[in-house]
Amino acid sequence: MTQLNNNSLYQIVEYRDGRAFINPNDYYIGQALAEYGEYCQGEIELFTQIVQPGDIVFEVGANIGSHSVWLAKRVGSGGRLYAFEPQRLIFQMLCANVVLNDLSNVRCVNAGLGKVADTVYVQELEPKLINNFGAFSLLDRAGQAGESTEIKTLNEYDVPSCKFLKIDVEGMERDVIAGGSQFIKLHRPVIYVENDRPAFAKELTTLIDSLGYKMFWHAVPLFNPNNYRLKKENIFMNKDGLLESSLNMICIHVSDQRFSLQNHFTQVFPGEQFKPPSNFKT
């Protein structure tokens, strides 16, 4: 990692959904908001068809809130967003961005979600060094010396409904869903979950299938040609010159008749080997 010649740890930028504190050393989310005024806009374009005013939404792995601000504005004063982020410094930026955008319908929770309630000790990433802070994983770091971090379970939450559940937790997706099985069975939310680790894909899809869901691939390039700032240069290309993307699944309960995704998305079948769509490049 290379240290930046930057005197300020935080900067405020305007972006598509409002304003945000960013860490300029964050070379994915922070850099995207600064350069393009958005991050993974294709995900939000899909959410526009799913999330409605008045909904209760859970966002597990909210990071600094690049999507949280949009979600909170979308559900409005009649809805609520629960946003979970375990990294202390990132969580503080999440809270700041909620305040910066004048949002009162967000409950920010400084915790991870997992299979069982627990406390783990993690060594957080150095904020003054260039890094991908969104790639921080409790799975990789639990048990090391560091700050105590609370792990909750989704089943702990007693809410009247949950319409949308977004999970981006760097390999702990299985644990979040296992620890929220009763919650999911009760509310049957649309689930949007990252699935980009081949070693975990089979167990993840089998678990989601057991809860009565159909799964479909949704791959979103990090670079959007129609970005908010109308920048033409794509800074998100891997060493082979291929577009970097976010790889997720959109999961719909079989009882939910609102969406016919099989006409638009490639279906993911439970237990199959990792077979991402052809437009996913890493």
Q: What is the reported pLDDT for 111?
A: 95
pLDDT tens-place string over residues 120-176: 887 776 666 665 655 566 665 555 567 888 999 999 999 999 999 999 997 899 999
SS (H, E, C) 88-151: HHHHHHHHHHHHHCCCCCEEEECCEECCCCEEEEECCCCCCECECHHHCCHHHHCCCCCEEEEE
Nearest to 165 by CA among 55, 61, 57, 52: 57
Mean pLDDT of 249-269: 88
Q: How confident is the model at residue 8 (pLDDT cuts 50, 70, 90)?
A: confident
The predicted pLDDT at position 4 comes to 44
Question: The sheet that has 112-113: what strands, in order across it?
Answer: 112-113, 147-152, 118-122
Q: Where do the domains of the chain lie, and which CATH numbers do they carry?
A: 11-268 (3.40.50.150)
| Structure token pair of residue 69 | 């601000």
CA–CA gap between residue 163 and residue 175 (Å, rounded): 20
140 compared with 73, residue with greater pLDDT: 73
Task: Indicate whether 3 pLDDT > 50.
Answer: no
Nearest-CA neighbor of 112 among 66, 42, 171? 171
To the nearest whole percent, how much of the chain has pLDDT over 90?
Answer: 69
Q: Which helix (H) or strand (E) holds 30?
A: helix 29-36
Average predicted confidence (pLDDT) for the chain = 88
Answer yes or no: pTM beyond 0.85. yes
pLDDT digits (tens, 9 = 90+) for 216-246: 999 999 999 999 999 999 998 766 556 788 9
Residue with tokens 């390999």: 171
C-alpha pair distances (Å), 43 with each of 202, 221, 234: 23, 10, 18
The pLDDT score that the predictor gives to residue 130 is 66
Length of the chain, in residues: 282
- Pseudo-torsion of CA 38, 40, 42, 48, nearest 10°? -70
Confirm if 170 and 139 have CB atoms less than 8 A apart: yes
Please identify which residue in the block is written with the tokens 């800074």: 235
